[in-house]
Amino acid sequence: MVLTRPVAALRGALGFLSRIPVGRTDRDWEAFRRTPAAMPAVGYAIGALVSLPVVAAALVPVRVPPLTVGVAFAAWLPLVTGITHLDGVADLGDAAVVHGDAERRRAVLKDSALGVGGTVALALVVAGLVAAGAAVTGVAARSLADAVALVVLAEVGAKAATAALVCVGDAPHEGLGSALTAASGPRALAGVALVTAPA
């Protein structure tokens, strides 16, 4: 069965942006990297999946403390999306606190060792996710649909921001970033906006 480019781009986006077992082929990757709008498009499905701890807590017959749901939410997110994002946060945190010029900061971005800056950045992100999960639990107490929509909107928004950066950004060196930015341009922003508009 031959996949059309949009379907291949969605499979590539799911394979790249999540741990959902959709299979990964070179064709899917190529379609994905040439279709930034696939990022926010799969954000809807990923967001719905990420909201499961909040949904589960709202549907069980006993009250689950919001902090417990927040911890489950923070643990569940990397299980769904992988740790690539957290690795990037750690690298960015280390580069933000290193002494030296831009070249030194770029060198730290590529270093796999975790420093104090990366540790603090990771701690802040995890604390933020716990707080977000706890806050969404409060929304779920009033309206489960609104809580799920809030998580989905956050995920779509994050993916749309990434897609916009891919459309207008210029990677400073050859690698994953350049593979994405080289294949798109500002004209692809229209597709990103169109897919994001329902959110």
What are the pLDDT digits (tens) for 82-116? 988 898 899 989 999 988 888 888 888 878 888 99
Contact residues for 53 (Cβ-Cβ < 8 A; gap 6+):
69, 72, 73, 76, 133
Token pair for residue 3?
A: 């996949």
How many other CB atoms are there within 10 angstroms of residue 108's CB atom? 21
Measure the CA–CA gap between 11 and 47, rounded to whole angstroms: 16
What is the spatial distance between Cα 150 and Cα 104, in angstroms, rounded to a whole number? 39
Tally the domains of the chain.
1
pLDDT for 3: 52
Cα 189 → chain centroid: 18
pLDDT tens for the 199 residues of the chain, in order? 455 878 999 999 999 999 988 877 889 989 999 999 999 999 999 999 999 999 999 999 999 999 999 999 999 999 999 988 898 899 989 999 988 888 888 888 878 888 999 999 999 999 999 999 999 999 999 999 999 999 999 999 999 999 999 999 887 777 777 788 888 889 999 999 999 999 9
Backbone angles phi, psi at 96, to 5 degrees: -70, -30
Cα separation, 70 vs 83, whole angstroms = 18
Domain housing 28: 5-196
- pTM above threshold 0.95: no
Whose CA is closest to 150, among 141, 142, 162, 140? 140
Nearest to 147 by CA among 71, 75, 73: 73
Contact between residue 58 and residue 142 where contact means Cβ atoms under 8 Å apart: no
Position of tokens 């899917």? 28
Phi and psi of 56, rounded to 5°? -60, -45
d(CA 6, CA 14): 12
How far is Cα 98 from Cα 78, in angstroms, rounded to an integer? 27
Amino acid (one-letter) located at 44: Y
Average pLDDT, the chain: 91
